[in-house]
Structure 1
Amino acid sequence: MTAWIVLPVSLSAFSITGIWIVYAMAVMNHHVCPVENWSYNVTCTEETAKKGSPKTCCTLQDIPLISKCGSFPPESCLFMVMVCMLRYAQVIEHSHRCRVNTSALVSGCVNALGLVMVGNFQVDHAKSLHYVGAGVAFPAGLLFVCLQCVLTYQVAVTALDYWMAHVRAALAAGALVSLVLSGIFFIHESFILQHAAAICEWVFTVDILVFYGTFTYEFGTVSNETMMAGLQRSHHHHRGSGVIIASGGRPVPLGGATKSLKSPGGNATSTHLNCNPESIGVL
């Protein structure tokens, strides 16, 4: 186990807690109506509800969208980028140098960049930029979790690994459904559908954050060499592909894994790796 397991846990725990605290503050300050409210009016007279209690008269402007309640802090986006980079390097360390892994890294960073825009350009003051950020962040976040599902199945070795892959597939499916429904409901002017869109948006956001938290499963095996694996991959990519010769005359691409790695789900050594480094000679 390493201290890196704290990173995805912190990202999920603090972000989920933070957005719900902001929601509660927005409700108590009459900035939005509570999610359990489904009754809306075209216009409202002066608010008569006491301070510290929810609004009693709600309009379309009071629907509890995340954008209306608050925004994600930039620190959460930094944690998100770190998780994406470590996950990328970890898959590289498992000898899976594929376009899926690179695409997952890019989509994760784009997701974080979109959230920075969402957080810094409030919907009431810079609506166009806010929606551009949301339009980038949400699809990129969905693409990231889908690609990570594929990678989880690819590197799975033990039964526990496959169980985690199934959990992530379920989370990704939930994120897909909630995001699609949120988009469909949001484009309608119906108060009920707008409110349903807000609920779907909250479900999608929490779902994605829980997905990031599942990386705790793999991050317990992260070592000091994990990030170096990603950096060395980039270095070898620029220098060109070399070849090393293993015992028996079998060529192995330069930069390939030369140590056996353990699956986080058990003691089985991954069959995707090249073992017995003592018998390898360099040509």
Structure 2
Amino acid sequence: MAVWVILPIVLCAVSFIGCWTVFLSFMLHENIVGFLNREYRNSCQTNETGNCCTLDNVPTISTSGANFPENSLFTATINAGSFLFLIFCIFHHAHILDRNNVHSLLSKIAMILGCVVSMGAFMAGNCNPTELMLLHYLGAALSFVCVCLYMTILTFLTSKCVMTGCEWALHPLRSISTIIQVFATILYGIFFIQEDFFYKHISAVFEWLLAVNLQLYELSYSVEFYFFSSSMLSVLLAKKEEEKCLILS
């Protein structure tokens, strides 16, 4: 049913609108100029007016949602996005099983990685970096690394599985998106661990690039989900029943 096309669209919309709303609110309440800012200080005077930014104000996604009132919206956005992404991973796996069962093992590995991405994002979104820094960064690291692997496998499956007839256009686009995600993640990690304000700022730019790139990648799956049907979910249950019969025999 074509109604399932709504899933990747809603997933992309929730992540995009939620994250950028948090970011804009952060800029308004923290009185900074976002990505255009280049002047950071080690500390600010209590009665100082105007823009005064420290490492606590670097416009990363995590920093944007660390304080009130943005933290509530940030957590809600991450929770909703994590849940929708989990459903997305399971449904896509069901689609592969139904249309191209020969690639079921690779698809299952991708689904597991997608579940790890979802759990990592959930951990990062619910562990405030100002209070639970270790858990927050652990969840974020799992998400960033596993999403690269997940996108790589899904892009490979796009070239091997004919599910829509549009793979000739989707595969090169997803390949470009995957390459951007992998290299941007590497550069993000390199800049993030630096202590210099300038490199921290560049890492924030790469973090937002990664978020937008992933959202566009998810949106491209609207094509596959247009051909998705509820009956495909029965494939997952059928597999479980077969496994039970093998165990009993």
Distance change (3 Å), C-alpha of 1:158 and 1:229: closer
- Is residue 69 from structure 1 mapped to residue 70 from structure 2 by the alignment? no
CA contact (8 A) 2:117 2:143 kept: yes
CA displacement, residues 230-275 of structure 1 (integer Å, 9 cap, x when unaligned)? 221232234339xxxxxxxxxxxxxxxxxxxxxxxxxxxxxxxxxx
Distance change (3 Å), C-alpha of 1:158 and 1:213: closer
- Is residue 87 from structure 1 mapped to residue 88 from structure 2 by the alignment? no
Deviating above 4 A after TM superposition, structure 1's stretches of 4 or more consecutive aligned residues are: none
- 1:181 aligns with one of 175, 182, 187: 187
Task: Map residues 40-79 of structure 1 onto 2, 5 A cutoff.
Answer: 40-45=40-45, 46-49=47-50, 56-70=51-65, 71=74, 72-79=77-84
2:93 maps to a residue whose letter is: Y
Match of 1:124 in 2: 130
CA contact (8 A) 1:31 1:62 kept: no
Distance change (3 Å), C-alpha of 1:18 and 1:85: same
List runs of 5+ in structure 2 lacking aligned partners: 66-73
Match of 2:39 in 1: 39
TM-score, length basis structure 2: 0.89
Match of 2:11 in 1: 11
- Is residue 240 from structure 1 mapped to residue 240 from structure 2 by the alignment? no
CA contact (8 A) 1:44 1:59 kept: yes
- Is residue 153 from structure 1 mapped to residue 153 from structure 2 by the alignment? no
Distance change (3 Å), C-alpha of 1:22 and 1:157: closer
Match of 1:28 in 2: 28
1:108 maps to a residue whose letter is: G
Q: What percent of counterpart residues are identical?
A: 26
List runs of 5+ in structure 1 lacking aligned partners: 50-55, 242-283
CA contact (8 A) 1:33 1:62 kept: no
- Is residue 223 from structure 1 mapped to residue 229 from structure 2 by the alignment? yes
CA displacement, residues 36-95 of structure 1 (integer Å, 9 cap, x when unaligned)? 11221222223413xxxxxx1211221011110013431111111111111000000113
The whole-number CA distance in structure 2 between the counterparts of 1:210 and 1:69 is 21
SS of residue paired to 2:35: coil
The whole-number CA distance in structure 2 between the counterparts of 1:91 and 1:32 is 46
Distance change (3 Å), C-alpha of 1:31 and 1:240: farther
Distance change (3 Å), C-alpha of 1:116 and 1:32: farther
The whole-number CA distance in structure 2 between the counterparts of 1:107 and 1:125 is 27
CA contact (8 A) 2:164 2:223 kept: no
Deviation at 1:203, TM superposition (A): 0.6
SS of residue paired to 2:36: coil
The whole-number CA distance in structure 2 between the counterparts of 1:149 and 1:235 is 30
SS of residue paired to 1:98: helix
Deviation at 1:159, TM superposition (A): 6.2
TM-score, length basis structure 1: 0.78
More helix by share: 2
CA displacement, residues 145-198 of structure 1 (integer Å, 9 cap, x when unaligned)? 111001111103776212101111111111111111100001111111100001
The whole-number CA distance in structure 1 between the counterparts of 2:163 and 2:87 is 25
CA contact (8 A) 2:60 2:204 kept: yes
Superposed CA RMSD: 1.8
Range 157-166 or range 145-154, more displaced: 157-166
The whole-number CA distance in structure 1 between the counterparts of 2:42 and 2:196 is 11
The whole-number CA distance in structure 2 between the counterparts of 1:32 and 1:127 is 23
SS of residue paired to 1:17: helix
CA contact (8 A) 2:117 2:146 kept: yes
Deviation at 1:33, TM superposition (A): 4.9
1:48 maps to a residue whose letter is: T
The whole-number CA distance in structure 1 between the counterparts of 2:123 and 2:85 is 15
The whole-number CA distance in structure 1 between the counterparts of 2:246 and 2:41 is 65
CA contact (8 A) 2:39 2:53 kept: yes
